[in-house]
Structure 1
């Protein structure tokens, strides 16, 4: 999402690679061969390639592991979001951070877990039956310095699967749409 031009860059690279092949330049010296460039291009074709890969891998793992239910997976994700939220909203925990980047890391983990939960859970993170306190998480995000969290709010706005469902409470949609 932060670098949408990367797909165009790979397309350009693949065209240059093709021209070099036609010109019979020694392809041994090429660091990324044509096959790898094609795979990378397909990876970056998604707006959020890492999220797509994580979601696919998690869904494959849950469906192939019969002993592990989707509920266990979503319970783990909701617990991770709760831990991050509590660490950020309570001063007695947040003051323990030695580095300022730790708080932003916790924010990114919290947002990533919410998005992953929303993609993996059948009704998503925004439904009333969700085990994630999305309202509380959004409040914590909005309490942080504005320039650093706009990208996180955008990630919730544009990469979640169930935000615009009819089952999503209007106040949650309004919280994310408000600036």
Structure 2
């Protein structure tokens, strides 16, 4: 069977599942993103991932308070290059922030390490994607939580330009300032080795650094498992996107959400994240004819959501962080609905 016919079959199965859920409630696919608990066989990967997710929540909370960072101190130092007081003030301000910036980057590294474990558990079988996700609800929940965190982090990062500006200035001045002013003993972890500083600076140069880390991890997962058909991964991602869309569109499923608005928005973020990953690892992407992802339906459910500003950020993620939208093979109608 060709990859196109496989995709068409998957879309047909998922569509029928979603439609049956709309008519009959429990016959569809419902993943309990709020309460799913791990089975014995899921415990090891679940506990490893849970530690990273706890750190992820702390990072989002911390990032939300970052504000303007060292912007004023840096501006004063640039205006007064010959005055050591301003240089010292900027350096001291940066030392307090570099710990936080390094912590965010190190979390991305941990995500790159743990995400392939989730992918393996959900993509390697033995069940078809729909049944695999339904039978591994706790890991499916964590998979979704990773996608949700990544999109939330990047949304905050784009609204906080001080992150990149602060670390760029720190990297440019670190050698001179550390020699001139020294470093207190409790600030030793704020001094970043040159090679690592360059890597972290590159991380923050991306508008969506956490998403880049996750797409890199997913692509590496596919390359590192040559005996696992790529369709296992892409079909799982397409299924995740469809499941999340169905949960938002199916009234019976919405009624089962104790935090309806939060869970609906969570599902929309996960849907978009799954589509983006699919587009990065599938040979022809999510927008080509015959794709297992129903882009029209995904965009429709996004535009029907009440939180216009947050939904616009998700639409922008589809517009600007996918890989194949601008391909010549993408139908004009698909480009039009995202224009």
In the superposition, the TM-score normalised over structure 1's length comes to 0.90
Conserved 8 A contact 1:80-1:113: yes
Of the candidates 145, 161, 167, which is equivalent to residue 10 of structure 1? 167
1:79 corresponding residue in structure 2 = 239
Listed as ranges, the matches of 1:24-35 within 5 Å are 24-26=181-183, 28=185, 29-35=187-193
User: What is the Cα deviation at residue 154 of structure 1?
Assistant: 0.7
Q: Distance in 2 between matches of 1:105 and 1:16?
A: 40
Q: Secondary structure at the match of 2:293?
A: coil
Instruction: Sort the Cα spacing of 1:69 and 1:32 in 2 relative to 1 into closer, same or farther, 3 A.
Output: farther
User: Whose radius of gyration is greater, 1 or 2?
Assistant: 2
Higher relative contact order (CA 8 A, sep 6+): 2
Summarize deviations over 1:33-75 as a string: whole Å, max 9, x none.
2224433212122222122111222222211212212111101
- Confirm whether residue 108 of structure 1 aligns to residue 265 of structure 2: no
Shift in Å, 1:94: 1.6
Aligned mates of 2:199, 2:211 — CA distance in 1: 17
Aligned residues: 177
SS at the partner of 1:154?
Answer: helix
Gaps of 5+ in 2: 1-153
* Structure 1 residue corresponding to 2:319, chosen from 132, 150, 157: 157
Matched residue SS, 1:106: helix
- Kept in 1, the 8 Å contact 2:219–2:280? The answer is no
Structure 1 consecutive aligned stretches of length 4 or more whose deviation exceeds 4 Å: none
Cα contact 2:241–2:293 (8 A) shared by 1: yes
1:39-78 paired onto structure 2 within 5 Å? 39-78=199-238
- Residue of structure 2 in register with 1:130 after alignment: 291
> Following the alignment from structure 2 to structure 1, what is the Cα–Cα distance between the partners of residues 273 and 326?
18
Partner SS state of residue 23, structure 1: helix
Choose 48-57 or 73-82, whichever is displaced more.
48-57
CA distance in structure 2 between the partners assigned to 1:59 and 1:43 by the alignment: 17
- Once the two structures are TM-superposed, the CA of residue 152 in structure 1 deviates from its matched residue by 0.3
CA distance in 2, matches of 1:39, 1:27: 24
Contact 2:249/2:301, CA 8 A, preserved across alignment: yes
Query: Following the alignment from structure 1 to structure 2, what is the Cα–Cα distance between the partners of residues 9 and 127?
Result: 40
Question: RMSD of aligned C-alpha atoms?
Answer: 1.7
- Return the alpha-carbon distance in structure 2 between the equivalents of residues 118 and 66 of structure 1: 19
Residues 118, 160 of structure 1: 8 Å contact kept: yes
Q: In the alignment, is the contact (CA less than 8 A) between 1:21 and 1:27 conserved in 2?
A: no
Contact 1:85 1:110 in 2 (8 A): yes
What's the secondary structure of 2:338's corresponding residue?
helix
Give the corresponding residue for 1:169: 331
Deviation at 1:27, TM superposition (A): 5.7
Q: Which stretch shows the higher mean deviation, 146-155 or 2-11? A: 2-11
